[in-house]
Amino acid sequence: MICPLCKDRLSNLIDEFYYQCILCDSFVKESKYYLNQEEEVAYYKLHNNDVNDFGYRNFTSPVTNTVLEKFNSTHLGLDYGCGTGPVISKMLGDAGYKVILYDPFFFSNDDYLNHKYDYIFSCEVFEHFHQPAYEIEKLLNLLKPDGYLIIMTLLFDMSSDFKTWFYRNDPTHVFIYTKKTIHFIAKKYNLRIDKLEDRIIVLQKI
């Protein structure tokens, strides 16, 4: 199996489901364990992503706050992988911001490809990418120069036990990142790391 981010050959099988990539330090689920599309959509529909739920708004606030701090209502954003309840876009829209929605299952409209964006955010999306290099390159092509890619995904900390880590056990998660993986992405795609924390990553296109 080949790593879908760095294209290195995967040989370090760390458990029944996952390889650890030696080159980019990601954790890659073996493709035979991917859910099919029908199963994946059914699982997503179990999520209660209510745009009016205070707890969910608070959970996504690192992304919302980043956009509010860096941009204003004249800028155009893309909510990539917005899911069934695009809470961040709802909060930004209430503040006068213009955000285009896209989700391959729930807001599937290729019109989003016809714009260039000042910022793109993906909340709890990157860990679902079967082909992360393809997805990242597509998003960067949609960003304006100096634009920002805002990612919310939980990074794996090597001090934890990967086999028992709750994030790894979600059946729809297929690609797990570490801080080293983010540094690899930044170097590969010539991005500036603006913020790198356990759950929020902000990268600038330079």
Q: What does 115-127 look like in DSSP terms, one character per residue?
A: --EEEEEEES-GG
Residue 23 lies in a domain: yes
Total tally of structural domains belonging to the chain: 1
169: domain CATH number is 3.40.50.150
- Compute CA distances 70 → 79, 82, 119, 146, 148, whole Å: 16, 20, 9, 12, 9
d(CA 87, CA 75): 19
CA dihedral 160, 132, 91, 206 (to 10 degrees): 100
Domain that holds residue 165: 18-205
Spatial contact of 92 and 70, defined as CB atoms under 8 Å apart: no
Residue 3 lies in a domain: no
Closest by alpha carbon to 122, among 92, 65, 83?
A: 83
Phi/psi at 153 (5° precision): -155, 150
Residue 1 lies in a domain: no
User: And the tokens for 122?
Assistant: 């993906």
Residue 13 lies in a domain: no
Residue 50 lies in a domain: yes
Residue 65 lies in a domain: yes
Strand, helix or coil at 88?
helix
Sign of CA dihedral 197, 15, 37, 56: negative
Output DSSP code: residue 2. Answer: B
Residue 60 lies in a domain: yes
Residue 191 lies in a domain: yes
Per-residue pLDDT of the chain (206 residues; tens, 9 = 90+): 999 999 999 999 999 999 999 999 999 999 999 999 999 999 998 876 777 778 888 999 999 999 999 999 999 999 999 998 899 999 999 999 999 999 999 999 899 999 999 999 999 999 999 999 999 999 999 999 999 999 999 999 988 899 999 999 999 999 999 999 999 999 999 999 999 999 999 999 99
Which residues does 162 contact at the CB level (< 8 Å), separation at least 6? 14, 15, 18, 27, 156, 168
